[in-house]
Each structure stands twice: as C-alpha cells, then as structure tokens.
Structure 1
Amino acid sequence: MRHKKIWIALALCLIAALAAWKYWGGGDKAPKVLAEAEVKTGQVRKVLEATGIIKAQVGAIVKIGARATGTIQDMRVKVGDRVTKGQVIALVDSREDASRLNEATARLARTEAELKQVLEVYPKRVAEAQAELALSRAKADYASVNLRRQKELFAKELVSRDVLDQARRDALVAQNELAAREVTLARTKTEFEKERIKAERSKEEAQAALVTAETKLTYARIVSPIDGVVSNVTVQQGETVVAGLQVANLITVLDPTRLEMWIYVDETDVGQVTPGMRVEFRVDSLPGEIFSGQVDQIYPQPEIRDNIVYYQALVRLNPEQSQRLRPEMTTHCQIVVQEKKDVLVIPNAALKWIGSRQVVFVVGPGGAVRETLPELGLAGLNETEVLGGLSAGDRVAVQIVLPGTMTGASRPNGTSGQGGQAGQAGQAGQGAPGMGRGQGGASSGR
C-alpha cells in the first residue's frame, strides 16, 4: 500500500509537469517578450470621451436691420470686415426724414417765439392792470373820505343835500370801479398763466416732434452695436429695403471672442459629470493642439439624436481660445472625471486576460517571465493605478508571445498563440471587468 501511494504521487507530479509543459508550448519553449515597460510613479485619469460643437454665446451674433424704408445709399462693409461698436456700416436714403426734421425745427422755433411773446407781453398787461387798480383804490379812498366830510357838513347844515348826494354817488362809482379793476387784474393774471402753460406745452410738443424726427433720421444710419466681424451681408448698395412690421435684416456681425462649447454627454455618463470638471478638447483643423476649459453647467433639457438621449454640458471659452476657433466646429472632448497624481501606474497594454483572470507578466532577471495577479485601482485612458502586487522599477510585458499549444478559449487576451504578437489589451474599451465607458477612456457616444 505504501508503494502504491508513492506511485500515485509520482503519477500526479508527472501529470502536473505534462500540463505545465503543454501550457507553455513544450519543454523547449518559453514565453517571448516582444515589448516591455517599467512600473513607475505617475498620474492616472479617468475620463469621459464625448463629441462637442463650438457655438457662439448669446449676444455674440447680432443681426442688424433697417427701420427706415428707402434705398441703400452707401454700403460700407463686406463679409470678413472687422467693425467696432458705433461704427456706421451702411446709409439709407434719408431726404424725406431730413425734410421732416427741418419742419419740426421750424415748428419749434415758432412755439418758442410764441412763448417768448407771452412771457414779455402779459407781465406788462398785469402791471398795467395793477396800476389801474391802484388808481381806482386811491379814487375810492378819496370818495369815501369826502362822503364822510360831506355828511358832517350836512349835519351842521353847512352844505346842501345835493352836495351830499353827489358825494354818495362819487363814492359808489369809485367802489364799483375799484371792484372792476380788481376783477380785471385777476383775469389778466389768469390769462397770463393759461397762455404761458399753453405756449410751454406747444414748445414741448414741438421739441418732442423734433426728437422724433431726429430719431427717425438716425434710422438711416445703420451702425454696429458690437465689436466683431461681418459674417453676412444680404443687401447691396442701390437696393431698396422696406421696413414694415418686421425689421429687415441686412448685416450680421459676429463677436469672435465670445464662443462656448456644447458637449453632448450620453445619458449613461451624465451622472458622473458635474460643474467645475476640467475638459480637454481638440479640433481637426488644429491637429496636435489641445485646448482646455471646465464644465460651467449642464442643461436639464435632453436632446435626442438617432434615438439616443444626450445632455448638453456647457463650457465657456476664453477670448484667446475663441480667436483660434470658429462656430460650428466639431470638437473631440475628454471630461476629466477623476485624477490621481504620484501613484504607481502600469500601461493598460500590460493587462492580459487569462480566462476570467486579469494578470500581468513580470519580466525578471535574465528574461524570466512570471505571472502575477496585481491589485488594481483607478483605470485611465492609457494607464492603470496599481495598489499592490508590483513595485516601482518592475518590468512588465506589454507585448508577449505565449507558446501556441493553448486552445483559443484559454489563450490570454492580447497575446498570440502560434507565434503571433501580443495585442494592445487594456487600452480604450478593453479594461478590467465592470470598466464602463469613461473608465477605460471609451467614448460616451455610441
């Protein structure tokens, strides 16, 4: 029995040796490393890739129209010209408005003369009425005193009744004349006030008509409301524009320094995006150049394209970037969701799949290759964080040829069996299990 157990143990060892020999492609074959990399300290970023588009900010594009009807007398700009705020860019025939302005000016001059006449004449009339009132008051006082005196004399029988009656009559006439002069003075003052108000209102009306005429005349001068570049001209010199219920758009001016970017984020990724996240993007017209910004806000209203729901993330661009970009340009964006610096990293190409295990082949002294199962952290676009199982300075295989005796089902992902080269496993879209879009750098679009 003891010898039987020994033989069974030897048989099991032989079977294990044969299995290892088959796994590595035979006793005389060993894994061949075609390319290797060093485990080192660096940074790793988790990003979401998405497509964006350059747009003009609200107010950056102004369509300038004409509120005056007439012929374009002078078109002073063309497409591509730079204009400044307040610059006259076109003139409309304004002869009719100029005539109305002259008429309003003459009406204002007439009302001013009428007001001046009222202010000069009526004070004199008031002064005249005041003087006549003072004279009548003096006559009334004298007549009253004379009546008292005549009454005293008549009581002493020194004057006749006829003299007394005449004194009464003179006093009554003087009192009535005084009352009439008081009414005349009050009437003159009232007329003066009313005529003054009437003349002032006429002057204000004439001034308003003059301002209206001047304003309508300015409609013939089409000016640019902003600094920018002329992007469109719809009429030319000599053509007639008609201003009706809707203003006719003649010239479009674009401010090239006020641009923004709309990023279309897939509904499956929008939960990872928050305002303030850094964004890096590039455009096809400037290859090799990377622009940067940050998410300003995320619009709550979705946009459906090809039955896929997207949400717009807004990125404000500074004037320097805006000067180099153009509206409607397509951008290729990377939203930095998470970033770690000064951590141990390996290239994603060093991660290989063997069955359900993700392993790394470590190259030792003399070219010896050993398989290890590292503890991984944050997975980025090109590199993955290593939490354990590897040390700084270790060499790992990024391209490896394993012996070709393995079946296709058990061959590690990214390696070749029959002498072929290892693929670039672990790069975009080939990360660890559960690595969704953004973790391996896959685009958020579909």
Structure 2
Amino acid sequence: MTNHDPQAPVPSAPPASPATTSLPASATVLTEAEVDPATLLDEPLQRAWYRRPLIWAGVLALVLAGGGVWWWQVRKAANAAPIYNTQPVARGNLTLTVTANGTLQPTRTINIGSELSGTVLKVNVDVNDTIKKGQVLVVLDTAKLGDQILRSKAALSAASSKVEQTQATVAEAAASLARYEEVAQLSGGKVPSKVELDTARATLKRARADAASAQAGVSDAQAALSTDQTNLSKASIRAPADGVVLTRAVDPGNAVAASLQAVTLFTVAEDLTKLRLWVYVDEADVSAVKVGQNANFTVSAYLSRQFPARITRVGFGSTITDNVVTYLTYLDVDNADLNLRPGMTATATITATQRTNVLLVPNTSLRFSPSAQASPAAAKGGVMASLTPRMPGRTRQSAASDASTALAKQVWVLSKDGIPVAVAVTPGISNGRMTEITGGDLTAGMLVITDQKTAATQ
C-alpha cells in the first residue's frame, strides 16, 4: 500500500472517459454521498430548518400564547354569561288569607244612665260584678220626689172636690129649668117669660161645662201624680238585663244632672261568654271576604294561642282613616273560658279561599323578565365567535302577549340548553308568596326562573 503525505497537494488527474478509465485494484473509490462537504470546503455543516430548536421553541411559544388567549376568552365568556335562579314547578295546596286588625267587643253593650236629676244616695254594684235583670244599681235622693207626690195628691183631691161642686151646680140648674118649663106648660106659655126660660137653659149648659172642666182637672191631677210616682220609681235605677259591669262612673254623693242626653252611670256587657271581634278589612281584600268564612286571631295576652272565629257580617259602609278605605267586619267568638276580655287588640287571619293539589309557582317568577345579557350559545362559541360579527338576535315572543284574556301572563323557564324560554300561563289566587296556575303550557317539573345574576369577571 502506498503512503501519502496528508500535507502534500493531490495532483489533478486528467479526465478520462468512463469507458476507458481504469483504476488500480488497490485504490479506494469514494462516492459523492461519502464525501464530507466540510472536508471539501473546509466549512461547518448547515442544519435543515426542521432540525433547528429555535424554530420549534418559537412555535411552542405561539401555541401556548394562543391557548392562553383561548382559555382567557372562554373564561371571560363563562363569567359574563347570566346565572339564573330557578325553582321547580310543583303541585300543592294553597290558602288565600286576609289579615285585618281590630278589637274585641261584647255582643251587646248596655249604657245605663239616669233620666232624673238629683243626688246619688247609694251605689249597690261595682266593676266586674254580675248583675241580674231588675236589680237595683243606684238609688237617688227621693226627698224632693216625695214632696212632689204629696203636692200632686193634693191637686187631685182639689180637682175631685171641684167635680162634686160642678155636679151639684148642674143638678140645681137642671131642677130650675124643669120648674120653669112646667109653669110655662100650665100657664099656656104666659109665664115665665121667654127670657127667663132662655136664662135657665144657659145656666144649665154652663154648669155642665164646668162639670166637664172639673173632670178634666181630675184627669190632669191624676196624670201629674202618676208622673211623680214614676219618677220616684226611676230614682231607683235597675238593671235592664243580666250582665257584667264593665265600667262605673258614679259614687255616693255625686250630683246627676239629666239633660237632653242621659248621663251614663254604668256600662254593662250582656254576656261575656260570647264576644264579637270588630276588624277593618282593606278595600283591596274586601271582595274575598264573605259571611260564614272561618278565621283565627291572636291577642297580645296569648301570642302562642290561636282563637277561632267566624264572620257574621261584612259592612257595606266604608270607614276612611288617613285616606285608607276599610270596611267594618264582625266575627263571632266563643269565650266560654273567659280568657278574652272586651277591648283587647286582635290580629285576625281570615281563610278566604282554599285550593288543593294545584299547580304552584313563586310570585317572583311572574315578575321576572330576562335582561339583555350574552346568551349561553354565544358564550360557547369561543374566541372565533367573539371575534366574528354576528347578526342581531331575535327576541322570542311569548304566546301570552297574544292572549285574549286580561289575566294571561307569562313565566320564563330554563331549557335543557340553559336558554330562558317564555311560557304562557293564567294565574289564579295568590297568598303573597305562591300563585296558583289555572291555565297555560306550564307543567309540573319545569324550572321557572325567579332571578338573574351576572358572575363577576375573574
């Protein structure tokens, strides 16, 4: 083998044709692929672009940046999407109640007074005493009334004597006229004279008139005596009925001055085992209140106890207090245990209407209306959906807007896609929290929307 000096220059061989060139058997042939360009050019090798790490690092950075932007957009859209508070529609019982305030009163109250003026001599009863019909409650001083009775009796006696005198005069005048008429008949009308006969007849008439006047005087004296005797009996004030004394406004020695209006000495409740609750129902609720409805009420003395009552009258006349129109309503109350007392302030709850196994929705769902927020479908579109212009969306029109009845309304239900959809309903009665649904497309199990919130941007 021939040794070559690596530092010596390689001589150039003359070109030879492929057909005539011949190589020694011991020579090594190098192909073009085995020749190192760096050896030929004495320069470092340039790598392919896909083998350069800097390019792949840039691509990775762009992918991470794009992913971060996409995640931020999705998170922003999710946070901006509205959040709905829902409640499932269910069946249940609903009771419509009316609340009113009032006071307890006896079923019948009697004000006992005096028709006479005088001085109170004696008081026989006090507050809370049970009295019976005809019982003497107050006695007035009767000294003056006794003197008036004596005077009336004397006047009656004088009138009776006057009657006797006039009757004697009548008899005398009648006898005198009879004699004159007899003489005239015997004398053939010659005596007595016509004047004397007329005078006798006039005298008889006057006597009879005096007798009638005297008789009237007797009647007048008798009436005066009867009045004085009645006044004497009224000097002892008696109970007109059985009951319980609620108030007393008189003491012995008080002067009673009777005028055009009798002075009230006692207030008596006829029967405290039965009371009447007077409540004032607001004009907005009076249409739901009827005679015969049941009610419960509470009083401050027994806050934990419910007392039953029943409506017996709903007034047609209104009462206006501070520009508020109310109607007086009576409720009868059984007070056999006497725990309740007249004058107690009560709060009554009247059961106006009851419904069983009806479709119920919360009142807030009837008042709900979705605001202009990004729809869930737009939120799901991602970055491209947020960057791509969209046509203005169409608002879903509720079927209730075309309903023919004035009671038709709508509620919004949440679909499976998270989109609010309007459903037409016809509401019934409401207790202030829940409302009965009497018609429409709503069914049990649907999720009605009661409120809408927007999550804070993260």
Which of 270, 288, 291 aligns to 2:306? It is 288
CA 350–222 in structure 1, closer or farther in 2 if over 3 Å, else same: same
Residue 278 of structure 2 is matched in structure 1 by: 261
Write out per-residue CA displacement over residues 210-264 of structure 1, whole angstroms, 9 at most, x where no aligned residue: 133123313311123455321111233x423242657544222234557451326
* 1:317 and 2:331 aligned: yes
CA 232–276 in structure 1, closer or farther in 2 if over 3 Å, else same: same
* 1:80 and 2:128 aligned: yes
Residue 247 of structure 2 is matched in structure 1 by: 232
Which of 103, 111, 123 aligns to 1:53? It is 103
Residue 377 of structure 1 is matched in structure 2 by: 427
Task: Give the counterpart letter for 1:409 in structure 2.
Answer: K
5+ residue gaps, structure 1 = 1-10, 25-30, 142-173, 363-370, 398-407, 412-446
Please report how far the alpha carbon of residue 62 of structure 1 lies from its aligned counterpart in structure 2 after TM superposition.
Answer: 1.5
How far apart, CA to CA, are the structure 2 residues paired with 1:289 and 1:181?
94
Task: Give the counterpart letter for 1:313 in structure 2.
Answer: Y
Residue 403 of structure 2 is matched in structure 1 by: none
How high is the sequence identity, in percent, across the aligned residues?
Answer: 17
Please report how far the alpha carbon of residue 303 of structure 1 lies from its aligned counterpart in structure 2 after TM superposition.
Answer: 0.8
Q: Secondary structure at the match of 2:307?
A: coil
Please report how far the alpha carbon of residue 344 of structure 1 lies from its aligned counterpart in structure 2 after TM superposition.
Answer: 1.8
Task: Give the counterpart letter for 2:331 in structure 1.
Answer: L
Query: Which of structures 1 and 2 has the larger relative contact order (alpha carbons within 8 angstroms, sep 6+)?
Result: 1
5+ residue gaps, structure 2 = 1-69, 372-410
CA 321–377 in structure 1, closer or farther in 2 if over 3 Å, else same: farther
How far apart, CA to CA, are the structure 2 residues paired with 1:312 and 1:324?
28
Task: Give the counterpart letter for 1:194 in structure 2.
Answer: A
Residue 193 of structure 1 is matched in structure 2 by: 208
Q: Secondary structure at the match of 2:225?
A: helix
Residue 163 of structure 1 is matched in structure 2 by: none
* 1:105 and 2:153 aligned: yes
Task: Give the counterpart letter for 1:189 in structure 2.
Answer: L
Residue 124 of structure 1 is matched in structure 2 by: 171
CA 70–112 in structure 1, closer or farther in 2 if over 3 Å, else same: same
Note if contact 1:111-1:206 (Cα within 8 Å) is conserved in structure 2: yes
Question: Residues 297-312 of structure 1: matches in 2 within 5 Å?
Answer: 297=315, 299-304=317-322, 309-312=323-326
**TM-score, normalized by length of structure 1?**
0.57
Task: Give the counterpart letter for 2:118 in structure 1.
Answer: T
Write out per-residue CA displacement over residues 76-134 of structure 1, whole angstroms, 9 at most, x where no aligned residue: 21111233555431111212212321331232133224324433x24532442244124
Task: Give the counterpart letter for 2:216 in structure 1.
Answer: R
User: What number of residue pairs does the alignment pair up?
Assistant: 330
Runs of 4+ in 1 over 6 A off after TM superposition: 321-324, 349-355, 357-362, 371-374, 394-397
How far apart, CA to CA, are the structure 2 residues paired with 1:275 and 1:342?
18
Note if contact 1:38-1:395 (Cα within 8 Å) is conserved in structure 2: yes
Note if contact 1:281-1:331 (Cα within 8 Å) is conserved in structure 2: no
CA 185–314 in structure 1, closer or farther in 2 if over 3 Å, else same: same
CA 264–293 in structure 1, closer or farther in 2 if over 3 Å, else same: closer
Residue 286 of structure 2 is matched in structure 1 by: 273
Which structure is larger by alpha-carbon Rg, 1 or 2?
2
How far apart, CA to CA, are the structure 2 residues paired with 1:138 and 1:298?
85
How far apart, CA to CA, are the structure 2 residues paired with 1:381 and 1:359?
19
Q: Secondary structure at the match of 2:146?
A: helix
How far apart, CA to CA, are the structure 2 residues paired with 1:248 and 1:355?
65
Residue 236 of structure 2 is matched in structure 1 by: 221
Task: Give the counterpart letter for 2:198 in structure 1.
Answer: V
Q: Secondary structure at the match of 1:274?
A: helix
CA 330–377 in structure 1, closer or farther in 2 if over 3 Å, else same: same
Task: Give the counterpart letter for 1:389 in structure 2.
Answer: L
**TM-score, normalized by length of structure 2?**
0.56
CA 225–356 in structure 1, closer or farther in 2 if over 3 Å, else same: farther
Note if contact 1:72-1:239 (Cα within 8 Å) is conserved in structure 2: yes
How far apart, CA to CA, are the structure 1 residues paired with 2:360 and 2:243?
49
Note if contact 2:130-2:245 (Cα within 8 Å) is conserved in structure 1: yes
Task: Give the counterpart letter for 1:83 in structure 2.
Answer: I
Please report how far the alpha carbon of residue 395 of structure 1 lies from its aligned counterpart in structure 2 after TM superposition.
Answer: 11
Task: Give the counterpart letter for 1:62 in structure 2.
Answer: N
Which of 119, 131, 135 aligns to 2:182? It is 135
Q: CA RMSD in A?
A: 4.9
